[in-house]
Amino acid sequence: MKLSIITPDKLAYEGDVTSVTVPGTSGSFQILKDHAAIVSTLEDGKVIVKNSNEEIVIIIKGGVVEAKDNNIIILAEGIVQN
């Protein structure tokens, strides 16, 4: 799957992933390969990105996620720097 995390300022992440967990408005949920098409609003929280050899945690400040045809786009209002 392809994942892009975009903020108003920059492209925060782009790459191939095996799963993505996002902080949905009604609770967090995971997107895996061949997930049904979905558009959802996001709360402030952790986006957990897993690829074949690592797990990355990116903390976002709200936004929207769209998943369709194994392409995931997260439009985040901002990224919290650690």
CATH code of the domain covering residue 12: 2.60.15.10
Asked if the model's pLDDT at residue 57 lies above 70, the reply is yes
pLDDT band at 81 (very low <50, low <70, confident <90, very high): confident
Boundaries of domain holding 61? 2-80
Give the bridge partners for 13, in sequence order.
5
Q: What is the CA radius of gyration of the chain?
A: 11
Whole-number pLDDT of residue 78: 96
Global pTM exceeds 0.85: yes
Measured CA angle at 38 (ends 71, 36), to 5 deg: 75
Whole-number pLDDT of residue 19: 97
Whole-number pLDDT of residue 82: 58
Domains contained in the chain, number: 1
Whole-number pLDDT of residue 61: 96
